[in-house]
Amino acid sequence: MEEKRKTKTSSAVKNHYNSKVYGTVTAKQPKALVAAFKEKCAEKNISQSQIVKKAIEEFLSKE
């Protein structure tokens, strides 16, 4: 059986789709806070973006 090879086209298509559908939120935070956040996410097996998304949704639902 022939092994599939990875192509740049596949990644380019995914990147193009993601740029059309998703936006980026960037926040600079103290390194200690970021390290603790990443560690807790890893411990709980939760994606970092999931936490940020939930916080944004909660913020938007108020008022």
Asked if pLDDT for residue 42 goes beyond 80, the answer is: yes
At 57, the pLDDT band (50, 70, 90 cuts) reads very high
Q: Which is nearest to 47 in space by CA: 57, 34, 38, 55? A: 38
Q: Please, are residues 41 and 48 in contact by the beta-carbon 8 Å criterion?
A: yes
The 10s digit of each residue's pLDDT in 5-32 is 766 678 888 999 999 999 999 999 999 9
